[in-house]
Amino acid sequence: MQAVQKAKVRKGDTVMVIAGRERGKTGKVLALHLTEGKVIVEKLNVIKRHTKPNQKQRQGGILEREAPLALSNVMVFCANCQKPVRVGVKVLADGRRVRACQKCKEIIEKA
């Protein structure tokens, strides 16, 4: 059985790719696959899939879809800093734990 990787990234977060072919681009997280350590980012790492027509999907042909990126190749993008940043936990006055930017200490919310 594979170990589940911990991630500071959540579905709906804006992330920036820090390594690979899509380096420097930002996008919204569509899905996380923590067992594989992968993340799918909207409109990034687009591949072409050649598919046959079948009962569920009437039309075949060449479909474009997002391929997973390694979780280590993305960082949460801080809207305040305008940079990819590390994420920490901040405890608010009312006792809630929220994710915060390590540079500017601003709370990170889902996009």
> Cα–Cα distance between 82 and 16 in angstroms, integer?
10
With H, G, I as helix, E, B as strand and everything else as coil, classify residue 71. helix
Q: How far is CA 58 from the centre of its chain?
A: 30
Q: Which amino acid is at 53?
A: P
Instruction: Return the domain boundaries, the chain.
Output: 14-52+60-80
User: Comparing 1 with 88, which gets the higher pLDDT?
Assistant: 88
Q: How far is CA 22 from the centre of its chain?
A: 13
- What pTM does this model have? 0.87
With H, G, I as helix, E, B as strand and everything else as coil, classify residue 73. helix
Mean pLDDT of all residues belonging to the chain: 92
User: Which tens digit of pLDDT belongs to each residue from 50-81?
Assistant: 988 988 867 889 999 999 999 999 999 999 99
Residue 1's alpha-carbon distances to 22, 37, 94, in angstroms, are: 31, 14, 39
CATH of domain 14-52+60-80: 2.30.30.30
User: Which tens digit of pLDDT belongs to each residue from 30-40?
Assistant: 999 999 999 99
- Extract the tokens encoding 83: 């940079």
